[in-house]
Amino acid sequence: CDPKTSLCHHLQKMLSRTASSTVAVTQARFAQQQTRGIKASTKARRTLYITNPATGQVFRELDIDTPAVILRKFDACKTGRRQLLSMPMEKRKQAALKFADLLEEKAEELGKIMTTETGKPITQSIREVKNTKARIQFFVQHVDEAIADKVVFKDATMEERITREPLGIVANISAWNYPYFVGSNVYIPALLTGNGVVYKPSENSTLSGKEMEKLLIEAGFPEHAFKCLVGGPDVGADLLRMPVDGVFFTGSYQTGKRIYEKVSSKVVKVQLELGGKDPVYVHDDVDPVSVAAATADGAMYNTGQSCCAVERIYVHEKIYDKFVEAFVEEVKKFKVGDPMDPETYIGPLTRPRNLDNLEGQVLDAKTKGAKVLLGGSRLKDRAGFYFAPTVITDVTHTMSVMREESFGPIIGIMKVKDQEQARVLFEDNQYGLTASVYSKNWDVARDLLTRTASGMPMPFGTAYWNCCDRVSPRLPWSGRSHSGLGLTLGVEGITQFTNPKAWHIKYPTN
């Protein structure tokens, strides 16, 4: 048009305003996505920028799955699941064991990928990959038992039987802190029992998720029975819009709550493995030095980024001083450094925003009278997302460090009069994942871990006596209250991926 005409001039002004508005919205979305490691590209596609937590530098870019891509992967998974159902159980078990062998064979390579994208110390990454084999072997050994037909009643005319059928297509929204452990807890029993799996790894462990997908196919599972998505929270939300038959999530309470609310209208099975604020009580009959070493490891392993890490410690007043002294000395031995160094014990935090959370807990504690004996701040002399191993004493339950999940290398240690005071403090929290007692006396430990001060069951899914921060494939893993819903692991963890069918069978009469 002629720019001198009034109509054309009016159109140009409208387009200019629209363009300015679009640019403003795009810039706002870009800023919001950048905080999650997801950035809007100048092109139509969106990009996931994968950052090395040890350097703070982006080292890989991946296209984020669009809703259309997610739908294609979901539909492909339905095809893969049909192929899986036609695959005899023995073949599925062989594929699972082959996958376990591949993990062991490629542990060093896979560990380096995990360390680069999460910051986990390389020795711990390789150990996780290798030790996943034992979990897979447990599932293979017990899947027949878990889903076997059960005759619960039989007489001359009638039989009552229970059989089990797979759920269908399950959404597995997984975590970054133990991607192989946490992921395989879900997708291996799901595949063994005949379910298709659409796997949404954390945006902080996407490369590990893609390696899992590749190795599962190489091991012999149908190509599309397991589909890995790429992206952040928006991709997880898009997955939950699909007609899934079950949702299995590992992550924070806040995200788990949102997922639970979002899928409630679907009326499908939901399993939530959420956070913890795991307590330890140290009785006066133990050696404080050895227990300090054990609990320091429980608090600081994986840079404290474990849902079952020790997060609050209560020590009997008779051995409190010796325990604290030994604990501080033990933590001082932990090497902070490059996670690719085999000698490094504490690496960077995976997510930079947790630096602010930890500094906030330290400031809150100091303001309310606590003493910081070690650490207490981010390590500004290092590139990346490092926080100094931190030990805080003179703490109380008015402080966030004793009440809110930390998920980092920080611990509060509190002096108590006896186990009865510890009992009250144990249950004074909304989380209920694990709890531990160190004592030579089984009766002391069992009583504290069994009942609250009011005589009710102590609300923790896992109880430890003279150990902590431990998970076994033979035992169910579950939480209470804000720590989750449902369970994984154990024989019960296999049955979670099935629905029971009740059979009433009346024999024909002559």
* CB contact set of 210 (below 8 Å; sequence gap of 6+): 228, 230
CB 314, CB 327: distance < 8 Å: no
Measured CA to CA, the distance from residue 278 to residue 451 in angstroms comes to: 16
CB 194, CB 166: distance < 8 Å: yes
Could you identify the residue written with the tokens 């946490």? 182
Burial grade of 367 (CB within 10 A; 0-12, 13-18, 19 or more): exposed
Burial grade of 372 (CB within 10 A; 0-12, 13-18, 19 or more): middle
* CB contact set of 139 (below 8 Å; sequence gap of 6+): 96, 188, 189, 192, 473, 494
Distance from the Cα of residue 353 to its chain's centroid? 17
Measured CA to CA, the distance from residue 219 to residue 101 in angstroms comes to: 9
Q: What's the token pair of residue 123?
A: 């020795």
DSSP string, 31-86: HHHHTTTEEE-SSSSEEEEEEETTTTEEEEEEEPPPHHHHHHHHHHHHHHHHHHHT
Catalytic-labelled residue, pool 211, 213, 228, 307: 307
Measured CA to CA, the distance from residue 64 to residue 156 in angstroms comes to: 61
Measured CA to CA, the distance from residue 284 to residue 319 in angstroms comes to: 6
Where would I find the beta strands (DSSP E) of 297-406? 310-316, 371-374, 390-393
Could you identify the residue written with the tokens 């589909």? 227
273 is catalytic: yes
* CB-side neighbour CA atoms (13 Å) of 204: 22
Measured CA to CA, the distance from residue 56 to residue 9 in angstroms comes to: 48
Catalytic-labelled residue, pool 117, 128, 211, 273: 273
- Strand 310-316 and strand 278-282: the pairing is parallel
**3-state SS assignment for residue 9:** helix
Could you identify the residue written with the tokens 């998920």? 407
Residues annotated as catalytic (active site), given as ranges: 273, 307
